[in-house]
Amino acid sequence: MCPLPPTLATKNVARVGHPRSAASGTIEAGVLSTIHGRDWEKTLALRAVVFDYGKVLTGPQDPEAHAMLMQLTGLPLDRFEEYYWADRLAYDEGSLTGLEFWRKLLRDAELDLPAGSDHQLNEWDARMWSTVNPEMVAWQQRLRQHGILTGILSNMGDTVLALIEQEHAWLGGFDAKVWSYQLRMVKPDPAIYRHALGLLGTRADETLFLDDRLENIEGAQAVGMQGILFSTVEKLREDLIAAGLDTELPVP
């Protein structure tokens, strides 16, 4: 769950190796694409779609929660972001618990805050990731109604998971859920993608992965999965049509 990368890849995947125009149905050469994977020579029957959690199934970070984190630490935005992301992967892979993450941040930033501030920061941090992208949640439910398996593969720490499982009953509607801290590994480690495939019981080439970070899409591609770099529902719809997947999946 990190900021969107500034670049997009140029690897295209449609049935003949180039994205199809959503408007015209024609193949466009040299078009910048957010669709990744091996070229399809024939129709591939997808059996599963795997979602990242943060900024795919969720909306933007909760602004109130982010403001509270800033207020509690008293750090300017640039320093807060620097310290926040410095050890985030260690939190997501389970090397640090949520409380340990915030206690380390306070030490590293040399902040002497009132007793209990670490618990407050930990709770507001979890709440920051609890927003919902209702269109994507609704699409996941439509996929299951059409017989498509669905999963979540997320870099996720313990406190965040505890809160979202408490607040979001819809998480129970996925066929497989992989939370990184429970496995002590994070995307883009190839092993975490293979673990998700094992839980779903699908081959890599019949599984589509959606994530908002390019390196995680490339990690999925490295084990043979298809991938689409997610930014908005509208762009996802365009990419599914461009890859010809609108014939295999209901589009959002």
Segment 19-45, tens digit of pLDDT: 444 333 322 333 334 555 544 434 458
Residue 5 lies in a domain: no
Length of the chain: 252
**Which of the pair, 4 or 1, is modelled with greater confidence?**
1
Which three-class secondary structure string do you get for 64-92? HHHHHHHHHHCCCHHHHHHHHHHCHHHHH
Q: What is the CA radius of gyration of the chain?
A: 19
Domain's final residue, options 101, 128, 155: 128
pLDDT attached to residue 34: 59
Same domain, 69 and 104: yes
How many domains does the structure of the chain reveal? 2
Tokens of 12: 């295209």
Q: Which residue has the higher pLDDT, 162 or 23?
A: 162
Cβ contact 127:151 at 8 Å: no
The rounded percent of the chain whose pLDDT value lies above 70 is 83
Domain range for 180 is 35-59+131-247
State how far the Cα of 9 lies from the Cα of 214, in Å rounded to an integer.
8
Query: Could you tell me where the DSSP H helices lie in the chain?
Result: 63-73, 77-86, 88-92, 98-108, 117-128, 134-145, 158-167, 180-183, 190-200, 214-222, 233-242
Is 145 found in the same domain as 97?
no
Pair (86, 51) in one structural domain: no
Whether residue 52 is found in the same domain as residue 171: yes
Say yes or no: 149 and 46 in one domain.
Answer: yes
User: Which of 79, 94, 128 is the C-terminal boundary of a domain?
Assistant: 128
Measuring CA to CA, how many Å separate 127 from each of 53, 71, 227, 232?
14, 15, 28, 22
Identify whether 221 is part of a domain.
yes
Query: Is 164 found in the same domain as 232?
Result: yes
Q: Measure the CA–CA gap between 79 and 109, rounded to whole angstroms.
A: 9
Closest to 229 (Cα-Cα) out of 36, 95, 19, 29: 36
Residue 199 within any structural domain of the chain: yes
State how far the Cα of 216 lies from the Cα of 9, in Å rounded to an integer: 12
Q: What is the mean pLDDT of the chain?
A: 87
Same-domain pairing of 45 and 157: yes
Q: Say which residues have a Cβ less than 8 Å from residue 112's Cβ, sequence separation at least 6.
A: none
What is the rounded CA–CA span in Å between residue 49 and residue 136? 12
90, 106, 128 - which closes a domain: 128
Identify whether 49 is part of a domain.
yes
Tokens, residue 195: 């673990």
According to the model, what pLDDT value does residue 42 have? 44
Q: What is the pTM of this model?
A: 0.83
Pairing of strands 35-36, 226-229: antiparallel
Same domain assignment for residues 88 and 161: no
* % of the chain beyond a pLDDT of 90: 81
* pLDDT exceeds cutoff 50 at 235: yes
